[in-house]
């Protein structure tokens, strides 16, 4: 069953992204809608929700080899390397699923619960290319592991501008690093934490990895961030991919300083619905795998939104703070209802409304689109209210002229975070806040028609104050009034397409407008 489930998800993704023109092979007849695979098998299809025309029909049992042979048949020759890499991802993802069946975690934190949720768009997210064979359960968050950090002495001359000279004292103390004897460090060296999977990369980067092991940590749902203390995450680069071979978990030049510069802007624009994680303490030493970031989290109960999407079970939680080993529903942990603007609503409903209201306000009033990623979006419960937690600030998209017009100085940011194109801003809103931030949660916890109604009402509510604003009119045209919604072709861009094809003609995709589902 694991293989058939994974094969169906892969075929769904290929259909959704119309990779290799696969949708042109869909046939319609008196028996319904179907797709012929490379081996001649006719697979029944059913209408898809929320974001594609057709999916593999329930009850269809598929073999992974059947689907991959079909992929090889339709793939352009120039994508041969990407197709081969994806074959390996599928094998690794299936092995990870089978490993989880054999070794379920004994204790599931909220982060572990979130990691158990399948990514809504990338079918082989369980694969972690770069993790050595046999070590997945020791480091992947869905297994709930605990492990020791490694440490390295880094020449001070390698530190990039803006880097902190040392880890904050509370983080050092929480990891037992304050008890290091002084001998391991030379006078011109600084201490860096290193993820065990990145030890070889740290050595190649010019660091001297110490024999000392100090600090016990647990990975969060995003894997490269580990829990280093109360409301403190330590983000460490990894030579690992998570959503395709191109989605490497290194830390690129300028990303940490960009996050630090954009944080004050987000705090100024946060309003009552949003809390902003602190990302001011960081260091990078001239290499994608030699860096650290301390992320400070706010007071309140923090729940990764992916944890809300898991199915409910009859099990009851054993404590207020930690789900027991069998309980799979974070919704039961946050309480069934909260107050939002004086109205009592369900937790997922409150989250969706708060996220869309804030995201629309930032786009329309300031030309700012915050990054909302499935694997690290979170909500925080504070005094019975739901607030959206914003983190990972280096993914924000900003229009400097729009900020200037609002009387706000734009922070100095890399070019990839800047745009004057209103359509690019609207697309970023749709693919981020709407699809991955709101719709992925709504369709996971509600029947399709109810989820669509919630999203439609929430977006209409958020746009209502701005009816006359040109950006609001554009956003309405690209969402509520659109025949189809734009989307990100995760699989094509993440692994399958060649680098040359991505640079010359970036793949685009669209899907049926689920906001119109009745």
Provide the pLDDT for residue 426: 97
pLDDT value for 382: 85
Decide: 258 and 413 in contact? Cβ < 8 Å.
yes
> Is residue 471, in this structure, part of any structural domain at all?
yes
322 in the same domain as 432: yes
Q: Are residues 13 and 75 in the same domain?
A: yes
Q: How many CA atoms lie within 13 A of 494 on its CB side?
A: 23
> What is the extent of the structural domain holding 260?
141-295
Looking from the CA of 91 toward its CB, the CA atoms found within 13 Å total 9
The answer on 422 and 286 residing in a single domain is no
One domain, residues 412 and 437: yes
Residue 337 sits in a domain whose CATH number is: 1.10.510.40
DSSP 108: -
What is d(CA 424, CA 287) in angstroms, rounded to the nearest whole number?
31
Q: 114-118 long-range CB contacts below 8 Å, 24 or more apart?
A: 114/141, 114/221, 114/304, 114/305, 114/306, 114/307, 114/330, 114/375, 115/140, 115/141, 115/142, 115/219, 115/221, 115/223, 115/306, 116/142, 116/310, 116/328, 117/306, 117/307, 117/309, 117/310, 117/444, 118/9
Report yes or no on 122 lying in a domain.
Answer: no
**Are 273 and 421 in a shared domain?**
no
As to burial, measured by CB atoms within 10 angstroms (0-12 exposed, 13-18 middle, 19+ buried), residue 491 is buried
Measuring CA to CA, which residue among 338, 379, 329 is closest to residue 358? Answer: 379
Q: Calculate the average pLDDT of the chain.
A: 90
Please tell me whether residues 208 and 270 are part of one structural domain. yes
Total domains in the fold of the chain: 3
pLDDT at 324: 45
**273 and 324 share a domain?**
no
281 plus 160 within the same structural domain: yes
**Is 11 a member of any domain?**
yes
Counting as low any pLDDT under 50, the low residues of the chain are 313-328, 332-335
Instruction: Give the pLDDT of residue 182.
Output: 58
Q: What is the pLDDT of residue 317?
A: 36
* Alpha helices (H) in 132-285, listed in sequence order: 136-139, 169-174, 199-204, 255-269
Domain contains 170: yes
Whether residues 290 and 304 fall in one domain: no
At 347 the pLDDT is 83
Q: Based on the domain organization, do 246 and 312 belong to the same domain?
A: no
pLDDT tens for 236-247 read 999 999 999 999
């Amino acid at each position: 069953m694991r293989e058939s489930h994974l094969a169906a998800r892969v075929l769904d993704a290929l259909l959704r992204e119309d990779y290799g023109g696969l949708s042109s092979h869909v046939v319609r007849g008196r028996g319904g809608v179907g797709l012929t695979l490379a081996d001649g098998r006719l697979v029944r299809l059913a209408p898809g929700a929320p974001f594609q025309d057709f999916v593999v029909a329930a009850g269809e049992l598929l073999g992974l080899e059947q689907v991959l042979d079909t992929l090889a048949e339709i793939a352009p020759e120039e994508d041969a390397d990407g197709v081969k890499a994806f074959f390996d991802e599928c094998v690794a993802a299936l092995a990870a699923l089978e490993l989880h069946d054999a070794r379920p975690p004994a204790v599931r934190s909220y982060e572990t619960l979130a990691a158990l949720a399948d990514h809504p768009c990338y079918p082989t997210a369980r694969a972690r290319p770069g993790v050595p064979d046999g070590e997945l359960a020791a480091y992947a968050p869905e297994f709930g592991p605990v492990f020791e950090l490694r440490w390295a002495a880094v020449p001070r001359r390698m530190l990039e501008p803006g880097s902190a000279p040392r880890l904050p004292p509370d983080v050092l103390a929480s990891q037992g690093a304050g008890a290091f004897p002084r001998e391991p460090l030379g006078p011109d060296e600084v201490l860096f934490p290193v993820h065990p999977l990145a030890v070889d990369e740290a050595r190649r980067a010019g660091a001297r990895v110490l024999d000392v092991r100090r600090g016990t940590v647990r990975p969060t749902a995003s894997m490269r961030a580990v829990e280093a203390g109360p409301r403190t995450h330590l983000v460490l680069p990894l030579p690992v991919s998570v959503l395709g071979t191109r989605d490497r978990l290194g830390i690129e030049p300028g990303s940490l300083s960009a996050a630090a510069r954009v944080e004050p802007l987000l705090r100024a624009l946060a309003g009552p619905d949003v809390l902003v994680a602190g990302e001011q303490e960081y260091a990078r030493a001239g290499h994608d795998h030699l860096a650290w970031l301390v992320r400070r989290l706010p007071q309140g109960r923090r729940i990764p939104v992916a944890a809300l999407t898991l199915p409910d079970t009859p099990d009851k939680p054993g404590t207020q703070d930690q789900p027991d080993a069998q309980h799979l529903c974070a919704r039961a942990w946050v309480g069934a209802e909260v107050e939002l603007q004086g109205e009592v609503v369900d937790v997922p409903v409150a989250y969706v409304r708060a996220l869309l209201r804030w995201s629309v306000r930032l786009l329309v009033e300031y030309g700012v689109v915050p990054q909302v990623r499935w694997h690290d979006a979170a909500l925080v419960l504070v005094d019975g209210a739901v607030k959206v937690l914003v983190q990972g600030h280096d993914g924000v998209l900003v229009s400097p002229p729009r900020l200037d017009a609002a009387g706000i100085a734009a922070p100095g940011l890399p070019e990839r975070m800047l745009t004057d194109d209103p359509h690019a801003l609207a697309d970023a809103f749709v693919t981020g806040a709407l699809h991955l931030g709101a719709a992925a949660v709504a369709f996971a916890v509600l029947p399709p028609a109810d989820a669509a109604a919630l999203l439609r009402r929430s977006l209409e509510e958020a746009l209502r104050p701005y009816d006359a604003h040109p950006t609001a009119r554009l956003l309405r045209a690209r969402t509520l009034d659109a025949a189809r919604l734009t989307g990100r072709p995760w699989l094509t861009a993440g692994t399958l397409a060649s680098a040359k094809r991505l640079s010359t003609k970036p793949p685009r995709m669209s899907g049926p407008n689920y906001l119109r589902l009745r």
